[in-house]
A and B are shown apart, each in its own frame.
Chain A
Amino acid sequence: MTSLPGLVKRSYDLIKTIERLENYTPMEVEGLYRIVGKDLGQSAKALLDERHDGAGLHFMRVIARHIAEAVEAKEDGKKVILIPFNFPPELIHAFENAVPLTTEMMSTIGSLALQGQGEPYWDYAMSLGIPDYVCSANTTALGSMLTAVKGFEIAPDAMISACPGACDANSKIHEFVAETLNVPEFMLDKMGDGVSDYELYRKLFLNMVKELEEFVGEDIDEDKIIEVMERANECTELYWELHELKKHSPCPVPNMFTLFTYGTRFTMWGRDEAISMFEKLVDVAEKRLKRGEYPAEKEIARSLWVYTGYYIDLYDLWIWMENNGITYLTDGLNSFFPAQFEIETKEDALEAIISSAWNYPMTRQMGADNMGIRWFEDLTHVGKELNANCAIYCGHHSCKQTQSVFRIFRDEANKIGIPVLRLDGDAWNRRITPVSVLQEMILDFVQNVVTKRRRRRRR
């Protein structure tokens, strides 16, 4: 990587083009595919697929706004605060002079929107001696951030680390970048599930807010944060509406809506863009329900992805599954259990945000007293609600926490009759396991385990 612009800069240029897309037909999408090449083409085909009825383009616009605000903030003298996915962006949206940029969403955009995916940035991180088993969700985007010292990427002004206690790799790679770029890092710590654990988390969070206010040079305005939280409440309501729609079989909510949901949650929650995104998702799903639409002849598997999905080829995984009757109901990242809050003061708003952060995916499960049990309980709760008949673990090889307690998850799931498939691959790096192998394993599992169980049950 000699002089390649950074991931955020490249995504910004690309996304400006996508934003200009208006009405399109399948033929135009096919044409686009041919122009942009396979890496972006597969994503474009998936995002712009007819079944999404424009929701994919809407999602790209939401993400485009997120990236554009970060890039443009630098020109406007605002602060760019790099946040991990398990930190509520609504806190940063409450500032006038700061904008959030979410690390893992940038890695995901790298995988799905850039020629060569996130590989050049991953390779750059490796060239510095960072081990290849560190999480690609962080390292891809942060590898790019490291090139900011050479001017190839926009540099964050500060970073937030919400992962101590929930993920060592995430916390550590963020620390590496903060040290290298010499930018301040504000940190939280999650110890367990108890009252005193919450009290410590809350104190650290409130201290962090004070430090951020000082750093940004602005006290969060009470009216502004209340407005943000009112919009967050609207998003919550729509999130649960979509969740209810997923209970129907065949599922009227397309597979990719799960990605659209948390992609929006991790970037724009508390903003009008998020509300309109969720309205669109609910609207499309309701129409599909009325029309009884499902792309396959029948829904043969209702799969619960217990951790993340794969972002290396949206079309050949997410769309392919649905075309084969395999519904992707939801996943670990989407299990953030949003709640509505009564907000009258700034203090109420901060308490609500702290509660949301505490219940964020990964923070909630991997920061628990017992990771295996909490992970199992949370995900099977969702699985039961959505009437899942199987579970799939993507086996992201760098996730040492889930890898270490997968046995507990599988044993407990087996006890309640949910078969679990363990895949092995990197969700953000296609070099580890080819998509064809993942397809083969998923199909084998569905045909030989899930459908046979269904038949046995019917007899």
Chain B
Amino acid sequence: MSLSKIHEIASTLENEYVRKWKSEGNAVIGHACIAMPKEVAEAGRILPFRLRGAENADTSTADSYLSRYNCSLCRSCLELVLNGSYDFLDGLVRIRGCDHWMGTFDEIQHAKNPEFMHYLKVPHLVNEDTLDFFSNEIKRLKEAFENRFGVEITEDEIVRYAKVQDKINKKMREFYRLRFKKSRFYGSDAIAIMVARESLPSEAFLPLLESAMAEKKKVEYRAKVLLAGSPLDEIELIRKIEEMGALIVAETTCFGGGSFWNMAEYDGSEIYEFLASKYLNNLKICARMFGEYAYRKNFIKTIAEEAEVDGVILQHNKFCDLFGIENAKLRIDLEREGLPTLVLEKEYASTADIGRIKTRVQAFLERLKR
């Protein structure tokens, strides 16, 4: 039952938990990156809601702001902002995830001029100086929340929510390991769980996850596959891939294992320094972090080995420079190391793309001799 509830949450934007949260006088802010320190928001009773395209392929209005040369996920999200689907948000935290997202937030400001839009500056490098900088940025975010929403965000509360996040991350790792060997879940279920996590208060999500993990499904497949690459929240796309027999047993994407697998647990240190290190180091899984290619390649290899996958699908949306280039390099290197790899370039939520993608997956499965 919980799994179907999770799918229901993942298929809507303003879900029942969000409505309840707001009816209790709490705020909801939108963001678009796993660098968002959730603990800081939740400690102020502010729900961090991750923007997603919700499988919306119509970008006609957004295209007059962004261009057709911009990522279709960003265009899809912008369309939803412009048509009012995100009007339940009380503000936005803009994060320079990539150039496309930066432009998207610029255009949101231009078109809608939201009353609250805070720029959280997330460095592209991890070293002593950038960690120090990011720690101050997180403090600045806290102050911006306090000023805007009239709340007090104490360090004790942040620590309390950091521990809640630790509990969820631990549970998510358990869930992933259930999928690795003899999976009782489809990849589409896993993506739905991830999407739900990004759309719910932590305290509401944890019991749903625990109860979903107790459910059992009969899963059939021809090959076990790891999914890597750019942010992917398209449950329907995963379903179509899995219908071909390619069971996704793990994702290293940021709507997947990338968002929690390597996330550090609270160690009792100064909270802002801890959060800076936790989020910036975890962000190394994203191609927007420079000088960390080896880290990402090893992450994929480690998960692929533990999950005993037959191959890897590296996907990205057309016009994504970061993952487009990264996937070209990963394909060469992973193939050289004996891991069969398929690079899939696609348009976000495009049904016109499905036939082509299914053909590519079928060919990949045949290559895997499955």
Which residues does A use to contact B, with CB under 8 Å? 128-131, 133-135, 161, 164-165, 167-169, 171-173, 175-176, 179-180, 185, 187, 189, 191-192, 196-197, 200, 203-204, 207, 366, 369-373, 397-401, 403-408, 411
Most buried by A among B100, B136, B290: B290
Contacting pair A169 B321 (CB below 8 A): yes
Q: Does B149 contact A (CB under 8 A)?
A: no
Contact with A along B79-111 (1 / 0, CB 8 A): 000000000000000001011101110110110
Contacting pair B96 A191 (CB below 8 A): yes
Contact with A along B33-75 (1 / 0, CB 8 A): 0000000000000000000000000000000111101110010
Q: How far is the CB of A433 from chain B (nearest CB, A)?
A: 13
B residues near A371, Cβ cutoff 8 Å: 102-103, 106
Sorted nearest first, the 8 A-B pairs with minimum C-beta distance are A404-B103, A129-B328, A164-B124, A131-B324, A169-B321, A403-B67, A191-B121, A172-B325
User: Which of chain B's residues has its CB closest to A207's CB?
Assistant: B129
Contacting pair A179 B329 (CB below 8 A): yes
Q: How far is the CB of A128 from chain B (nearest CB, A)?
A: 6
Contacting pair B331 A172 (CB below 8 A): no
Given the known A-B contacts A129-B327, A130-B328, A397-B69, are A161 and B133 also in contact in the complex, defined by CB atoms under 8 Å? no
Q: Does B363 contact A (CB under 8 A)?
A: no
Given the known A-B contacts A164-B290, A397-B69, are A405 and B103 also in contact in the complex, defined by CB atoms under 8 Å? yes
User: Which of chain B's residues has its CB closest to A406's CB?
Assistant: B67
B residues near A200, Cβ cutoff 8 Å: 123, 129-130, 133
Contacting pair B66 A370 (CB below 8 A): no
Contacts across chains A and B counted by CB atoms under 8 Å = 144
Q: Does B368 contact A (CB under 8 A)?
A: no
Contacting pair A366 B99 (CB below 8 A): yes
Contacting pair A403 B69 (CB below 8 A): yes
Q: Does B322 contact A (CB under 8 A)?
A: yes
Option from A128, A168, A185, A203 in Cβ contact (under 8 Å) with B328: A128
What would be 23 A-B contacts, judged by CB atoms less than 8 Å apart?
A131-B321, A133-B321, A164-B290, A165-B124, A172-B326, A175-B291, A175-B293, A175-B325, A176-B329, A192-B121, A366-B99, A399-B69, A400-B69, A400-B99, A400-B103, A400-B321, A401-B102, A403-B67, A404-B70, A404-B74, A407-B107, A408-B106, A408-B107
Contacting pair B110 A408 (CB below 8 A): yes
Option from A176, A192, A407 in Cβ contact (under 8 Å) with B110: A407
Which residues in chain B, 328-360, are within 8 Å of chain A measured between CB atoms?
328-329, 331-332, 343, 345
Option from B64, B99, B129, B136 in Cβ contact (under 8 Å) with A401: B99
Contacting pair A369 B119 (CB below 8 A): yes
Contacting pair B125 A204 (CB below 8 A): yes
Complex CA distance for A167 and B98, rounded to whole angstroms: 9
Which residues in chain B, 98-154, are within 8 Å of chain A measured between CB atoms?
98-100, 102-104, 106-107, 109-110, 119, 121, 123-125, 127, 129-130, 133, 136
Option from A172, A192, A404 in Cβ contact (under 8 Å) with B321: A172
Complex CA distance for A191 and B319, rounded to whole angstroms: 23
Contacting pair A168 B322 (CB below 8 A): yes
Complex CA distance for A187 and B291, rounded to whole angstroms: 8
B residues near A403, Cβ cutoff 8 Å: 66-67, 69-70, 103
User: Which of chain B's residues has its CB closest to A132's CB?
Assistant: B324
Q: How far is the CB of B135 from chain A (nearest CB, A)?
A: 11
Contacting pair B103 A131 (CB below 8 A): no
**Other than the known A131-B318, A207-B129, what 9 A-B pairs have Cβ atoms closer than 8 Å?**
A133-B69, A176-B329, A191-B121, A204-B125, A371-B103, A372-B107, A400-B319, A400-B321, A404-B67
Contacting pair A401 B103 (CB below 8 A): yes
Complex CA distance for A192 and B140, rounded to whole angstroms: 14
Give the number of residues in B that approach A within 8 Å (Cβ atoms).
Answer: 48
Complex CA distance for A372 and B94, rounded to whole angstroms: 15
Complex CA distance for A1 and B316, rounded to whole angstroms: 28
Contacting pair A134 B321 (CB below 8 A): yes
Q: How far is the CB of B337 from chain A (nearest CB, A)?
A: 14
Complex CA distance for A203 and B129, rounded to whole angstroms: 7
Contacting pair A130 B325 (CB below 8 A): yes
Which residues does B use to contact A, with CB under 8 Å? 64-67, 69-71, 74, 96, 98-100, 102-104, 106-107, 109-110, 119, 121, 123-125, 127, 129-130, 133, 136, 287-288, 290-291, 293, 318-319, 321-322, 324-329, 331-332, 343, 345
Q: How far is the CB of B297 from chain A (nearest CB, A)?
A: 9
B residues near A373, Cβ cutoff 8 Å: 106
Option from B66, B69, B136, B328 in Cβ contact (under 8 Å) with A176: B328
B residues near A133, Cβ cutoff 8 Å: 69, 318-319, 321, 324
Contacting pair B121 A197 (CB below 8 A): yes
Contacting pair A187 B290 (CB below 8 A): yes
Q: How far is the CB of A181 from chain B (nearest CB, A)?
A: 12
B residues near A187, Cβ cutoff 8 Å: 124-125, 290-291
B residues near A131, Cβ cutoff 8 Å: 318, 321, 324-325, 328, 345
Q: How far is the CB of B14 from chain A (nearest CB, A)?
A: 27
Q: How far is the CB of B131 from chain A (nearest CB, A)?
A: 11
Complex CA distance for A330 and B327, rounded to whole angstroms: 37
Contacting pair B124 A189 (CB below 8 A): yes
Q: How far is the CB of B169 from chain A (nearest CB, A)?
A: 27
User: Which of chain B's residues has its CB closest to A197's CB?
Assistant: B121
Contacting pair B107 A171 (CB below 8 A): no
A residues near B319, Cβ cutoff 8 Å: 133, 400
Contacting pair A407 B64 (CB below 8 A): yes
Most buried by B among A172, A204, A404: A404
B residues near A176, Cβ cutoff 8 Å: 325, 328-329
B residues near A411, Cβ cutoff 8 Å: 110
Contacting pair A192 B324 (CB below 8 A): no
Contacting pair B288 A168 (CB below 8 A): yes
User: Which of chain B's residues has its CB closest to A161's CB?
Assistant: B290
Given the known A-B contacts A176-B325, A196-B136, A404-B106, are A191 and B123 also in contact in the complex, defined by CB atoms under 8 Å? yes
Complex CA distance for A403 and B221, rounded to whole angstroms: 42
Contacting pair B110 A400 (CB below 8 A): no
Q: How far is the CB of B301 from chain A (nearest CB, A)?
A: 15
Complex CA distance for A383 and B11, rounded to whole angstroms: 48
Complex CA distance for A404 and B96, rounded to whole angstroms: 13
Contacting pair A129 B331 (CB below 8 A): yes
User: Which of chain A's residues has its CB closest to B98's CB?
Assistant: A168
Q: How far is the CB of A142 from chain B (nearest CB, A)?
A: 10
Contacting pair B129 A398 (CB below 8 A): no
User: Which of chain B's residues has its CB closest to A194's CB?
Assistant: B121
User: Which of chain A's residues has its CB closest to B292's CB?
Assistant: A175
Contacting pair B98 A372 (CB below 8 A): no
Q: How far is the CB of B279 from chain A (nearest CB, A)?
A: 15
Complex CA distance for A197 and B129, rounded to whole angstroms: 11
Option from A134, A167, A189, A204 in Cβ contact (under 8 Å) with B99: A167
B residues near A164, Cβ cutoff 8 Å: 124-125, 290
B residues near A128, Cβ cutoff 8 Å: 328, 332
A residues near B104, Cβ cutoff 8 Å: 404
Q: How far is the CB of B287 from chain A (nearest CB, A)?
A: 7
Contacting pair B325 A173 (CB below 8 A): yes
Complex CA distance for A370 and B96, rounded to whole angstroms: 10
Complex CA distance for A134 and B104, rounded to whole angstroms: 19
Complex CA distance for A128 and B109, rounded to whole angstroms: 38
Contacting pair A129 B321 (CB below 8 A): no
User: Which of chain B's residues has its CB closest to A139's CB?
Assistant: B325
B residues near A167, Cβ cutoff 8 Å: 99
Complex CA distance for A302 and B316, rounded to whole angstroms: 42
